[in-house]
Amino acid sequence: MKIWLCLYALIGLLVAPEWGFCQYEQEDPQRYSREGVVTEVDSVGSLLVIFDGMEQTRFSVDSGARIQRGTENIMLDDLESNDTVTVEYYKSPDGALKATSIVDNNIISDF
């Protein structure tokens, strides 16, 4: 009888999800990078569409995404059609491409 109680207690400890023994840490999603020309920007809907010479790719821009032109941080609505950008992104479980970083490769010179 004592053995069964100990066995049940041990099983309970190992499988109880709120104690975290059987939980595993979720890995960060795989990151990708794509360069292309901006064809559409929707700052209200947090959407960016680029054309890489072969196909158009639609990104949902994360609220915490870093958007830069040179060393300057800019906003999504600062991007314009025909800007060449590099987008770092991941594929969410629902299949959407989520942009986490956008770099505008068009360096505007003050000269």
> What whole-number distance in Å separates Cα of residue 111 and Cα of residue 94?
46
> What whole-number distance in Å separates Cα of residue 15 and Cα of residue 88?
38
Q: Are 36 and 53 in contact (CB under 8 A)?
A: yes
What tens digit of pLDDT does each residue of 56-68 get? 999 999 999 999 9
Residue-range domains of the chain with CATH: 31-104 (2.40.50.320)
pLDDT at 107: 72
What tens digit of pLDDT does each residue of 35-44 get? 999 999 999 9
Q: Residue 48: pLDDT above 70?
A: yes
Which whole number is the average pLDDT over 22-37? Answer: 78
Q: How many other CB atoms sit within 10 Å of the CB of residue 36?
A: 20
